[in-house]
Structure 1
Amino acid sequence: MLVSAQEVEVFEAARPRLEAIAYRLLGSASDAEDAVQDTFLRWQAADRELIETPEAWLTKVLTNLCLNRLTSARARRETYVGQWLPEPVLAGDRMLGPSDTVEQRDSVSIAMLAVMERLSARERVVYVLREAFGYSHAEIAEVLDLTESNCQQIYRRAKQHLAADRRRVPVDAAAARRIVEEFLAAALSGRTDALVRMLTDDAISVGDGGGLIFSLPSPVTGKVRVARFLRGLFTPSERKWELLGGRPVLYAAVANGVPAMVVMIEGRVAGVISLDVTTDGIAAVHAQVNPGKLARAGRQWDSSDHGDPLESW
């Protein structure tokens, strides 16, 4: 069916919210974009005169598309090379969605998106719609074709699975830069003691190269081991620059609501290193260097004012 200009406007008004929901459900900006586009195709093909509440209809269609994608994505991750991390999204991107509450900010952090992999597909949908977007259990039940009491049970289970996750420290661009500068100074000092002081006892470092860029096949755990690993990682080396394809230039940024470093090589975003800052210290360092997961961050970076670099080798 032909879509009128007004009907296109209805969809485009909903697009930012749909993208934000899909990103939290899938942990992938590119997959979220595809899911939203598929939702538009369903909107285009539907008898829109019979749709009383477009927002509810679009949310239901998108959610079911994401449920199907979650199932296939988890099957693909069983053969994924190395550690899997969500795709980073830089500050200012509408895909991050609402950030007014602690729950909304936490729901989009790399750490939380990774932790949500523990949830079943339905648990993840219920948790995201409830925590990040404030949907009532009755509304979620309508989306998933469940009873309201069933949704409440699923939500309780999801909360229990995520109960051990810690609260993050909210940061603005200035605070993020200060944290990143302190972290980088410690990493470049050639000693581990300064880094150890910044890390939590159970700190973890995870890298995702997707089999395309070298990264450790398993996480580094414990603050002393993480500090030693980071000291080596940030030690300048001509051999490293050769493997990377050029000398890196580091910038401070905010990615998924947390302090981050954007690694630029030859004018392209070659990595995003996110620092999961909790009230106890830095609990995780997530390094996304898989080129296939940096396209949207690269576009966002190119269109933004990112200031002077922190370090250039």
Structure 2
Amino acid sequence: MHDADLLARRFEEHRPRLRAVAHRMLGSGSEAEDAVQDTWLRLSRADADRIDNLGGWLTTTVGRVCLDRLRARTARPEQPWDADEGEPGPTEGEPVDPEREAVRTESVGRALLVVLDTLAPTERFVFVLHDMFAVSFDEIASVVDRSPAAVRQIASRARRRVQLGGPVRETDPARQRQVVEAFLAASREGRFDDLVTLLDPHVVLRADPAGVGLGARAETRGSAAVAGFFNGRAQGAVPAYVDAAPGAVVVVDGQVRIVLTFVVTDRIIAIEAVADPEHIAALDLATGDPAAR
């Protein structure tokens, strides 16, 4: 097969996810399709042989395209959302993408689109890519030209604004905390099957360089692999709120050494392990309910 044909075929495999990202960013099916097409044009002009992670490159690129469109929209205000459109669905004959279906289980619908419209373009970009599509803060930081710590703060601010916008998620914070606590208990007790059940089949575990230095892999994908990593571990992990979202911390000699953040829909779709002291210091950590503080 010709290289161009192979590249086009690989792009089509990622199209459903890219369309889902663009729709969440732009709120319009037609604009989302245009953004995906722009992403293909950028890929066709790039040196694909130098792209190590095509899926990650495409996700951040479509996000960058959408961010540019949002900024242009801010300079020239117009009605951003297609009021009668629902979530983008598969076209006739298009295979169902499991990763996309996992994202769709969040069922945020029109209510979240309205709330997202209140966010600044950079806030929306960070929130959508990290909280909905599990893109790491390091990858996002390179796009918005901010430090990972600054991107964390942007995500935290956006998350709080979304939460204040009303009950737009089927998975509320209380349910998310229950899932995280169940995961930690299963990890400590070595209940591998329970861990797999709590994890989305396409879950992603990412560790920062400091975490890699402690023995973790930079990225682990799939419920079996992530469950295998945590099986019998988390002995020192306790539930906590990280930037007002359910997470966990590992405390050694009175100091937080590792922070775990979770992205939860009906199951856990992403986990990030942070061990860098400077990054940890930039996080808002609480072992109680932040609403009670």
Of structures 1 and 2, the larger Rg is shown by 1
Structure with the bigger RCO (C-alpha within 8 Å, sep 6+) is: 1
TM-score (norm 2): 0.49
TM-score, normalised relative to structure 1: 0.46
